[in-house]
Amino acid sequence: MNKITTKKAFIKITITFVLFLVVVLPVMAGFSAINVGDVTPDTLFLLSAEHLYEIAGNISADGRSMYVLLRFTFDLIWPIVYLLFLLSTIGILTKKLRVENTENLLLIPILAFTFDLSENIFFSITFLVYPRKMDFILFLGSIFSNLKWLFILVAFGSVIVLLVKLLLRQFKNNKDR
C-alpha cells in the first residue's frame, strides 16, 4: 500500500484511470458494440439468468467468442486499473484523515475486483457453451456480477465520504484560523 499511496504513484494511477474512462472505455464500448452487440452482461446490474440467455441468443457465435476474448484481455486490465485507483485514493484519503484500521475499507475494492474477475469467468463459460444452458454457472455469474456492482458502488461511495470528510475538516481548519 505504501507504494501506491505516494503522491507520485497516486498521480500516475489517477491519470491512467482517467485515460481509461475518457479514451479506452469508449473505444472498447464501440468495438464491443460492433463485434458483440450494444448490451453486454458485465455492464448490467441485477442481471437475471433469463436476461443473460436472451443476450447470448441475440449475439452471433463469433460475437460470443469475441465477448470471451475481451473478458480475458481488456477486462483483465480495466479491473486492475480501477482497483489501483480505488486503493490509492482510499489509502491517501485515510492517511490524510489519520484513519486507523483501514483494512476493511481497503477490502471493499479488492472484493469488487475479485467478483469482477469471477463474473468474467462464469459469463465466459456461459457464452462458450451457449446454446447449452448451465444454470448453476449462470447463477454464480449473476451473483458475482451483482456483488461486483455492489462493491464498486460502495468503494466509490467510500471515496466520496472520505473526500467530503477531508474537505469539511479543511474548511473547519481554515475557518478556525
Question: pLDDT tens string for the chain (177 positions)?
Answer: 678 888 999 999 999 999 999 999 888 888 777 767 666 777 777 777 788 888 888 888 888 888 888 888 888 999 999 999 999 999 999 999 999 888 899 999 999 999 999 999 998 998 899 999 888 998 898 899 899 999 999 999 999 999 999 999 988 888 876
Give ∠ CA 51-55-58 in degrees, rounded to 5. 140
- Name the residue range of residue 132's domain: 7-16+41-168
Per-residue confidence (pLDDT) for residue 139, from 0 to 100? 86
In a domain, 86, yes or no: yes
In a domain, 65, yes or no: yes
Could you give the number of structural domains in the chain?
1
Tell me the whole-structure pTM to 2 decimals.
0.88
Per-residue confidence (pLDDT) for residue 1, from 0 to 100? 67
In a domain, 138, yes or no: yes
In a domain, 29, yes or no: no
How far apart CA 173 and CA 27 sit, in angstroms, is 44
